Structure 1
Amino acid sequence: MSHRNRRHPITVDEPIRRIEAGPWAIELLPGAAYSARYVATQSAIGFAFDSQRGVHAIGSDRIRPFDAMPNGLAFVPAGCDVLSESPMGGEYLRVIRTDGKTLAGDHAFNNRIDPQAIHLASRMRSALLQASLEDDWESWALGLAERVEGHEAFTHQGSITGSRMRLLDEFIDAGLDSPLGVPAMAQLLGLSEGYFMRAFKLATGKSPHSYLIDRRLAKARASMRDTTDSLSQIALACGFNSQAHMTTAFKQRLGVSPAQLRTDSRHSSATDKQHSSI
């Protein structure tokens, strides 16, 4: 839930993308290690696109390990003490109201799975990656704020606990360059395929297949940032059949091609370096 201090990767870092629209400030924080400690001056909505883990203390002086589930909605009220650290982090959307009006809610929460919030957050991420004149920021931000207030949203992990999610992430990441499927993932957790698919959808709001694509995209974006490998090399290393297959997945999920995303990141990095040398 923080405006996070990011470590610089080996080559080119994806920028923090930010837009202000009416009474809203919206940020997309790229997946990277972070460490932050602050008192929230304004209430903030967050959305974790990736699973994350680290330690935090939210409204408490007790520092505890945390596991953030993928596609989880979060909220931090104004005045809340926040400490959060993660050695890897994950892509994160942050929405705050800047006109002094507080958002409803006085208790912090995370890992809330809400299908409408997933849809809104995904649209906002695509728009931040590639802005267009048709973007409806105020409507999207207000819609996400309503999901924080809504009673239909829920937190439910069931059989897919944080520790099981960690085990599954490690298994997926280690085998992304080879075929992966539901049978292998279910067997890893000792669950039947049908039960695993239902439990996973309940815990993350997405199917295992959809999540597997998300992990491939996340690894591809990290490789684009941290290496100088060609896009065709990255595609094969991340389990895509070809560069064209990877490009299609990028456009469908993120609204932008990998080539454009890499070009934009390099341009942003060069601009930052010029500003820092002035």
Structure 2
Amino acid sequence: MVFMSQRNRRHSIVIDEPIRRVEAGPWAIELLPGAAYSVRYVATQSAIGFAFDSQRGVHAIGTDRIRPFDAMPNGLAFVPAGCDVLSESPMGGEYLRVIRTDGTALAGDSAFNNRIDPQAIHLASRMRNALLQASLDDDWESWALNLAERVEGHEAAMHQGSITGSRMRLLDEFIDAGLGSPLSVPEMAQLLDLSEGYFMRAFKQATGKSPHSYLIDRRLAKARASMRDTTASLSQIALACGFNSQAHMTTAFKQRLGVSPAQLRTDSRHSSATDTQHSSI
């Protein structure tokens, strides 16, 4: 989910995009690809998380009461040490996890998620891009420390307004069903029975991004899932996800993720082959 944990991952039809991890000083940083998961654990270290995608399922965080959850895209999360966590999602979503491993507690004694913070969004995106590029010489300790400061920051707040979890779910279903064709902001606003101007303001407040930027994120997420779960060509995947061409999709990948779809697919295949070799030993 939303909260940090080791995930029991279902194997895809063809390949699994790997969990990417780097250790820098007292920090461990992981990028978990979107996948179904079911976990229960007691957090031994306080941890920071960032949900790049919408996520939904059930959870019980610091309580024995299991409740449905809707995690907003671009939401910052925190779990303190000692917190009992149960979380399950049939779809999951791409997730960044940052843990301080030297025993030093991070500030805060209450778990939270769905906190929208523009600086946290920027930091998480930089960390994701560096992990996807296997760029291990970047300023990981500084990024992790700055993200921890965002957890402490008083200016960060939870905003949903008119874009609630249930409305986000409806919007995601509408977008996913229509990704192969053009989608417009007026259509999305009409779906939620909001004026275009109000919808754009409310969406930015709830997710930290514009509807257009989020639509690109959804196209990229579907393309990455298709690259994992099918043997379709990149040109076929591009058209199925609403890009004009493979070149258009490649440009979006490089701009948003810092890597090309071909490179990402090759890296995943190499990782899958390595995992198979190791499991057979």
With structure 2 as the length reference, what TM-score do the two structures score? Answer: 0.98
1:115 aligns with 2:118: yes
Farther off after superposition, 43-52 or 123-132: 123-132
Looking at structure 1, the residues matched to 23 and 130 of structure 2 have their Cα atoms a distance apart, in angstroms, of 13
Report the 3-state secondary structure (helix = DSSP H, G, I; strand = E; otherwise coil) of the residue aligned with 1:111. strand
RMSD across aligned positions (CA): 0.6
Looking at structure 1, the residues matched to 5 and 59 of structure 2 have their Cα atoms a distance apart, in angstroms, of 11
Q: What residue ranges of structure 2 are gaps of 5+ in the alignment?
A: none
- After TM superposition, give the deviation of residue 107 of structure 1 in Å: 0.1
Q: Is the 8 A contact 2:28 2:99 kept in 1?
A: yes
Percent of pairs with identical residues: 92
- After TM superposition, give the deviation of residue 132 of structure 1 in Å: 2.7
Looking at structure 2, the residues matched to 100 and 159 of structure 1 have their Cα atoms a distance apart, in angstroms, of 40
Question: What does residue 251 of structure 2 align with?
Answer: 248
Looking at structure 2, the residues matched to 119 and 51 of structure 1 have their Cα atoms a distance apart, in angstroms, of 17
Looking at structure 2, the residues matched to 11 and 131 of structure 1 have their Cα atoms a distance apart, in angstroms, of 22
Looking at structure 1, the residues matched to 134 and 96 of structure 2 have their Cα atoms a distance apart, in angstroms, of 15
Provide Cα deviations, 1:187-246, integer angstroms capped at 9, x if missing partner. 000000000000000000000000000000000000000000000000000000000000
Looking at structure 2, the residues matched to 133 and 178 of structure 1 have their Cα atoms a distance apart, in angstroms, of 38
Looking at structure 2, the residues matched to 69 and 228 of structure 1 have their Cα atoms a distance apart, in angstroms, of 30
Q: Is the 8 A contact 2:39 2:88 kept in 1?
A: yes
Looking at structure 2, the residues matched to 272 and 133 of structure 1 have their Cα atoms a distance apart, in angstroms, of 21
- After TM superposition, give the deviation of residue 134 of structure 1 in Å: 4.8
The one of 26, 33, 38 equivalent to 2:36 is 33
- After TM superposition, give the deviation of residue 4 of structure 1 in Å: 1.1
Provide Cα deviations, 1:146-202, integer angstroms capped at 9, x if missing partner. 000000100010000000000000000000000001000000000000000000000
Report the 3-state secondary structure (helix = DSSP H, G, I; strand = E; otherwise coil) of the residue aligned with 2:259. coil
1:133/1:102 Cα in 2 relative to 1: closer, same or farther (>3 Å)? Answer: closer
- After TM superposition, give the deviation of residue 131 of structure 1 in Å: 2.5
1:179 aligns with 2:182: yes
Provide Cα deviations, 1:102-131, integer angstroms capped at 9, x if missing partner. 100000000000000000000000000002
Q: Is the 8 A contact 2:115 2:157 kept in 1?
A: yes
Provide Cα deviations, 1:64-123, integer angstroms capped at 9, x if missing partner. 000000000000000000000000000000000011101000000000000000000000
The one of 197, 208, 211 equivalent to 1:208 is 211
Looking at structure 1, the residues matched to 175 and 254 of structure 2 have their Cα atoms a distance apart, in angstroms, of 22
Looking at structure 2, the residues matched to 28 and 70 of structure 1 have their Cα atoms a distance apart, in angstroms, of 15
- After TM superposition, give the deviation of residue 5 of structure 1 in Å: 1.3
